[in-house]
Amino acid sequence: MSNEIPLFVIGLEKDNPANEVLMSKFGGSLEKVQQILPKIIEAKISIKSQNTKGTRTHYDVTSTVKTSDNQLVYTQSGWDILKICDELCRKLEGEMPKHNDKRQRQSIRKKGEI
């Protein structure tokens, strides 16, 4: 389970501090989700910048998580790259309850019988 998933960030310069933050936050989320989706092959974050000449830059970010079964794609856009990263991590971690099919819940009505 401790396999390191290859994570690629495309669209930011290597010396940009947001690049390292994206790698650490999204990498942590991938490690959490790896318990539920153990067949993750690779993950990619693609960033498109708009209005780079102005005072603020608008980002369109697409994250793709490729598993052996299917491909999970999440998109988010906004002005702050760190808030976008947090939102993408939240969306990825939202996959965890969806795949936990073996969980059994005890009925409230049968609680007093045991």
Over residues 80-106, the pLDDT tens digits come to 888 988 888 888 888 766 555 555 666
The confidence score (pLDDT) of residue 68 equals 83
Judging by DSSP bridges, how do beta strands 40-50 and 7-10 pair with one another? Answer: parallel
Over residues 29-87, the pLDDT tens digits come to 888 888 777 788 888 889 888 876 778 888 898 988 888 888 888 898 988 888 988 88
**Could you tell me the residue range of the domain that residue 12 belongs to?**
7-96
**Overall number of domains in the chain:** 1
The confidence score (pLDDT) of residue 112 equals 62
In a domain, 106, yes or no: no
Over residues 3-20, the pLDDT tens digits come to 678 888 888 878 877 888
SS (H, E, C) 25-49: HHHHHHHHHCCCCCCEEEEEEEEEE
Place of tokens 């998933």: 5
- Compute the residue count for the chain: 114
In a domain, 16, yes or no: yes
Could you tell me if residue 78 is left (phi over 0), alpha (psi between -120 and 50 degrees) or otherwise beta? left
The confidence score (pLDDT) of residue 38 equals 73
Round to the nearest angstrom and report the end-to-end CA distance of the chain: 37
Q: Specify whether the CB–CB gap between 11 and 72 falls below 8 A.
A: no
In a domain, 60, yes or no: yes
CATH number for the domain that contains residue 46: 3.30.160.100
The confidence score (pLDDT) of residue 1 equals 42
The confidence score (pLDDT) of residue 90 equals 87
In a domain, 15, yes or no: yes
User: pLDDT at residue 109 above 80?
Assistant: no
In a domain, 18, yes or no: yes
